[in-house]
Chains A and B, each alone.
Chain A
Amino acid sequence: MKPTDTYHPDYFHKVVDCQWACPAHTDVPGYIRLIAQERYTDAYMLNRASNVFPGILGRVCDRPCEPACRRGRVDDQKPVAICRLKRVTYDLKDDIAARLPTAPEKKNGKRVACIGAGCASLTVANDLMPLGYDVTIFEKLDVTGGLMRSNIPRFRLPPGVLDEEIDNILNMGVDLRLGAPVESMGWLLEQGFDAVFVGSGAPRGKDLQCPGRDEAGESGRVHIGIDWLQSVAFEHVESIGERVLIIGAGNTAMDCCRTSLRLGATDVRVMARKPVDQLKASEWELEDALEEGVEVMTEHSPKAFVVENGKLKGMTFEVLEYFQEEGRQKSRVVDEIFLPADDVILAIGQDGAFPWIERDIGIEFDERDMPVVDRVTYQSTRPGVFFGGDAAFGPENIIWAVRHGHEAAISIHKHVHGEDVTDRLPNAVDVHTSKMGLHEWGYSNQYAPEERRLVPHVDMKNRFKNIDVEVELGFGEDEWRTEVERCLNCDIQTIFFNQKCIECDACIDICPTQCLTMLHIGDDEPEESVRQRLKVPARNPEQAVYVSGKLPQTGRQMIKDEDQCIHCGLCAERCPTAAWDMKRAEIFIPQARDEEAARTERKERA
């Protein structure tokens, strides 16, 4: 093993598990510290810089950060409630009008068309408007927000929050055209735009093909989940039968079952083919549905719709049993049951749909009829046409769409200036000490043993009165004050200067989680062997092992298993020679404005 290159921008970034896991690389520990300092507006703006929609995401984000949270690995604890704290920044912020980006009076003369007024297109507009672009958004519906408005029920995401955060972008002067579906890409390309961004989502819900589907369809009581949610959102549908079966167990299914309860259903069952540990829904969305009395029936595969005299009676299901054969999971049918139902909602996935893109204009499609899109530049096979959000690679989530939007904005900016879209600024890391005094640090380093706070919910009685009643109340002061202290500040990194070390063992002895070891290792010793020889073997391959340069007195090397470090800073406190320091690693993820700054600088130098 060779000494670790901590100058690589990814090394410290990876240690900040939440920020690494977040597609938009939100500076989570940074904003949590700002909340702790009661700088709510700063915390909101720090969020907004990377994820654009803190109020929305603080309610309905898919939260890839939380399963990644270090707190979940140490002390058998649950992760920090990162998403709830994001909402705290929204709830407590002051007026931010003066701090929002604005469009310059002098435009740069470039015109960009965005298709769909969802989170991907809005992010593109957010990044490009301040650079002087004219951005036009074409939206087929009469409202903005895309899936965020049409598919996420109001009891999870109030329209006021959506409007506020979307308006912050539109108010820069975006040319928004509602009720304006783009029916031909060929036509759009002739309108003189310098670039086109497709953020039209994955609007087609999958259908279920099985016996009785056609007759059941004629009864009008079988619904496609996302279409039905949209009809509810726009108040075209205001009621449903008493007994409802939801087919599928992803997050759309969770929204469908909870919405059904608010429209009059009393007996709602979510029917899942897979065993309980393999459901697609996020753990917390499943919990909320169960709390409201939805029954989740796992290992039931839909077999047929039962229709009598043109009236839907219910469905038959095969009861499955799962087993392992030759290392693979298989299932067999052990029984068959009939479940009565007044309505059936299909929530088994959705696809992109591009009937409006002509197939002879240079935009290639793959065998699944999805456009061929580059994973870095988000450019299609036709230069100047970019894709993002669910339209790019199929259904993901809001936070991924935001990331796509940021990256596509960079590509658009490079494209319209005739630059190579693949020649992008690298990520960077800036490291500065958090030492404030002998035993004072610029962060709260005392480990808080408290358990994860729960967010209060509206009680069951009032919750179903109206579909507009937001269920989650958000953290109160007691809750967030406790929760912010649970954050381990993983961005405050342990930095080691091997030349200063006198090998007194103080850091090793004090480390509460036994992360440190000094060993003689050879350059050719494989990492696996070093991992086994640590004080406690490092068994988590996802987490790096740091190796220092040789120590002056014995030639041993300091080795740190990043996996269990709680960033308490005791190694640095107990080090007599300041060979350890706690330094804040600020991760720099370039956006379109940074590319513009770099371009201006290049131009000025030339």
Chain B
Amino acid sequence: MSFMKKPQVHHAELPVNGLGYTVRDYEGGMSTLCAGCGHDSITAALIQACWGLDIEPYRVAKMSGIGCSSKTPAYFLREAHGINALHGRMPSIATGANAANGELHFLGVSGDGDSLSIGFGQFAHAIRRNVNMLYLIENNGVYGLTKGQFSASADIGSTTKRGEANEQPPIDPVMTAISLGCTFVARGFSGDKEQLVPLIQAGLRHRGFAMIDIISPCVAFNDHEGSTKSYAHTREYFHPAIHADFIPPREEIRAEYEKGRAMPVELHDGSTIVLRKIDVDHDPTDRAGAIAYLERHREAREIVTGLLYLEEEGSDLHANNRTVPRSLVDIGMHENAEAILEEFQAGCR
């Protein structure tokens, strides 16, 4: 880790967004992660994405659990709200927070340990409830903070730094999320921001649970030969299937797309995702097809990336629970609140 502060000075011609902020205004504290950690690159992608969407930092709630990944909310959007929950318990806290104030942008940052081991149940139920949030899994296949044991996402045959091979099958968060009914499922790579930033932007604008599994190499414990989550391995087996271009509301679609390969999907807020098929073999709105597609490529050991499944018409936590249209935090207390509560509780006894 670095001990010096990142200087406040920035490029003299750094562009500003619609709010008049530079990308530097979306930063947080200096990272204490290992130099070269994929998580830091994802942090930078989040900063870039939020800046590009003109999101006011104080309208964001950063939710995380425990782990290297869960430390990262300290390194971006220093003006945002945030909570470090118990290990694996971030989804419940996020569900509660979202129930109280659905107007915020909920940004969950988790890791393969936090989501696929100790918090696997929580992860599944947040998807099932379709909490309106963006949920990132910074996936490096190892427990970095405890010195590099395999996590639940490690591939069979992948070796530790000391050479032991993993023999247990991995949990694939993408496959899991699709099968649980997640309405926005994507995979990215910390080393490819061109793909990742629009995915994050689309995920932030999607109404419902948006999950992005991000391969994020651990330079300290899982970037060696024999690792299947290293920079080199990920680049070698990288298979972009669908590229998502995010286009904000009221902005023209300027890029020219090859016929039959581009599919514009309008989001609830008027913005558009243009899904550009890099692999014509895949239709990202066909859930059964998506699962079959992933299965085929898993056998070839390819790492399929992009926006892999999208269902824009799903109903989220608030719609399912028929909550009031306004956020609970904005609704004032009834002057007789205590008496009403008393009466209600009496009815339950």
Q: Which residue of A lies closest to B235 (CB)?
A: A553
Q: Which residues of A contact B20 (CB under 8 A)?
A: none
Q: Are A74 and B12 in contact (CB under 8 A)?
A: yes
Of the stretches B30-38, B111-119, B153-161, the one at the interface is B30-38
Chain B positions 1-31 with a Cβ under 8 Å from a chain A Cβ: 1-15, 24
With known contacts A503-B191, A536-B15, A513–B38 Cβ distance under 8 A: no
Known: A447-B9, A566-B9. A576 touches B219 (CB 8 A): yes
Interface residues of A, dominant DSSP:
loop
Q: Is B144 an interface residue (CB 8 A)?
A: no
B2 engages A439 (CB within 8 Å): yes
Interface size class, chain B: 20 to 34
Contact of B217 among A75, A449, A504, A568 (CB under 8 A): A504
Interface centre among B8, B35, B217 (most CB of A within 10 A): B35
Check: A416 CB closer than 8 A to any chain B CB. no
Q: Which residue of A lies closest to B7 (CB)?
A: A447
Contact between chains at B7 and A566 (CB < 8 Å): yes
A575 at the interface (CB under 8 A from B): yes
Q: Is the CB of A553 within 8 A of B10?
A: no
The 5 closest A-B pairs by CB, nearest first: A576-B36, A447-B7, A509-B44, A75-B9, A505-B41
Within 8 A of B (CB), among A531-567: 536-537, 539, 553-554, 564, 566
A449 to chain B, nearest CB (A): 7
| Complexed CA–CA distance, A506 and B44 (Å) | 9
Q: Which chain B residues have a beta carbon within 8 Å of chain A's beta carbons?
A: 1-15, 24, 34-38, 40-41, 43-44, 190-191, 193, 217, 219, 223, 231-232, 235
Is A514 located at the chain interface by the 8 A CB criterion?
A: yes
List residues of chain A with CB under 8 Å of any chain B CB.
73-76, 439, 445-447, 449, 502-506, 508-510, 512-515, 536-537, 539, 553-554, 564, 566, 568, 570, 573-577
Cα–Cα, bound, A499→B190 (Å): 20
Q: How far is the CA of A588 from the CA of B235 in the complex (A)?
A: 43
Pair B13/A574 contact, Cβ less than 8 Å: no
A513 and B3 CA atoms in complex are apart in Å by 19
B6 touches A570 (CB 8 A): yes
Which residues on the A side are within 8 Å of B15 (C-beta)? 536
A439 touches B3 (CB 8 A): yes
Complex Cα–Cα for A508 and B43 (A)? 12
B36 & A564 in contact (Cβ 8 Å cutoff): no
Contacts of B40 in A (CB 8 A): 505-506, 509-510, 574
* A570 and B2 within 8 A (CB): yes
Q: What residues on A are CB-neighbors of B232 within 8 Å? A: 502, 553
Q: By the criterion CB–CB under 8 Å, are B43 and A509 in contact?
A: yes
For B223, the closest partner residue in chain A by CB is A502
A446 & B5 in contact (Cβ 8 Å cutoff): yes
Name the CB-closest residue of B to A561. B11
Taking A502-B232, A505-B40, A514-B11 as known contacts, 19 extra A-B pairs with beta carbons closer than 8 A to each other, sorted by chain A number, are: A74-B12, A447-B7, A447-B9, A503-B231, A504-B36, A504-B231, A505-B41, A505-B191, A506-B40, A512-B7, A514-B14, A515-B11, A536-B11, A536-B13, A537-B13, A553-B231, A553-B232, A564-B11, A568-B7
The answer to whether B4 and A504 touch across the interface, beta carbons within 8 angstroms, is no
